[in-house]
């Protein structure tokens, strides 16, 4: 029997991509999709991909207190930072215990929640029903850095550039196409939330400098790592392959990946591997689609994990050719 999924905050970019993924999933269907702005409108009118499963499903606007009574097996909170706690409290007060996946940063620092970056943390999943989805930049940074954690010296510097979909749908300078035209907009150059997130979960200091570019989706992170010993490039590339060759959603590439190649894809590209002359500094480039592997695809991986399905169910795994 199919499991039912509810999405709170389904109007945003990530919510829409998650609806499309669930539309293609053989074991999941939507119990409800909430959006105050679209309440009463038919979901299929906005996301035609869902029409085959339920052409009559409509957006709704339940209160927090009404959410537990909707009976979903899992609830995905696709809300801005700072908004998840009231929803979680409503489930707790009602004694309801669905799987809850929070896409915001609200529980990424809470040890009572499983931090769901499966390629690095699935060994720590033991049936937890509260799952915190990692940030998009944080996912790209951790996957680039993790294979070298035991040989790092000093902080890792990460220069990031994202498309403006990462700024959400609420109007701001960071998602205004006119202000971004022919532009690169730096922001939060110290103390960014994802800087703190990566530092906490890797247990190693990271310094992150994010920017917004005029494209819509996809991000790239260039990470500068100082190493405690010398590496040859071939050894380094093979080291990354050993870490990720069993991971269908991580693709190790010889060349530095381009953000234009990752849009609409479910995987992460990690590559480039530029070494300094002394072999003790490496620059690694990682790219992912911030709305997919950086959010919706990763949420689906976590839903699959929670319900005992193969993590890739409903996800078009990208082929992983050896360079």
Q: Which residues does the annotation mark as catalytic? A: 136
**What does the alpha-carbon distance between residue 281 and residue 63 come to, in Å, rounded to a whole number?**
52
DSSP for residue 281: E
Tokens (6 digits) for 178: 């006119």
Tokens (6 digits) for 167: 């700024």
∠ CA 258-261-266, nearest 5°, is 115
Non-local (6+) Cβ contacts of 39 within 8 A are 58, 59, 60, 61
CA atoms within 13 A on the CB side of 53: 25
Tokens (6 digits) for 303: 């839903």
**C-alpha separations of 31 from 18, 46, 106, 165, 174 in Å:** 13, 17, 24, 26, 33
Q: Kindly report the backbone phi and psi dihedral angles of residue 209, in degrees, each rounded to the nearest multiple of 5, phi listed first.
A: -125, 95
């Amino acid at each position: 029997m199919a499991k039912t999924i509810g999405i709170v905050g389904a109007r945003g970019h990530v919510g829409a991509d998650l609806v499309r993924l669930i539309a293609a999933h053989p074991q999941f269907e939507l119990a409800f999709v909430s959006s105050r702005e679209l309440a009463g409108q038919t979901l299929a009118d906005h996301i035609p991909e869902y029409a085959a499963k339920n052409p009559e499903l409509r957006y709704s606007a339940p209160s927090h207190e009404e959410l537990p009574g909707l009976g979903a097996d899992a609830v995905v909170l696709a809300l801005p930072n700072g908004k998840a706690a009231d929803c979680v409290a409503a489930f707790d007060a009602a004694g309801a215990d669905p799987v809850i996946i929070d896409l915001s940063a609200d529980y990424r620092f809470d040890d009572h929640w499983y931090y769901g970056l499966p390629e690095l943390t699935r060994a720590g999943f033991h049936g937890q029903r509260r799952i915190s989805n990692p940030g998009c930049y944080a996912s790209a940074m951790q996957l680039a850095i993790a294979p070298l954690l035991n040989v790092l010296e000093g902080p890792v510097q990460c220069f990031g550039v994202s498309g403006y979909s990462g700024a959400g749908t609420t109007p701001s300078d960071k998602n205004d196409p006119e202000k971004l035209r022919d532009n690169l907009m730096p922001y939060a150059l110290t103390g960014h939330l994802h800087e703190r997130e990566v530092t906490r979960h890797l247990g190693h200091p990271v310094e992150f400098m994010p920017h917004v570019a005029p494209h819509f989706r996809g991000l790239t992170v260039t990470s500068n790592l100082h190493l405690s010993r010398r590496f040859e490039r071939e050894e380094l590339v093979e080291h990354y392959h050993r870490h990720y060759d069993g991971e269908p959603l991580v693709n190790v590439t010889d060349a530095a990946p381009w953000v234009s190649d990752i849009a609409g894809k479910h995987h992460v590209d990690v590559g480039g591997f530029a070494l300094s002359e002394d072999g003790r500094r490496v620059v690694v480039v990682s790219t992912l689609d911030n709305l997919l592997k950086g959010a919706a695809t990763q949420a689906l991986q976590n839903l699959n994990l929670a319900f005992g399905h193969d993590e890739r169910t409903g996800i078009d795994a990208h082929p992983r050719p050896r360079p």
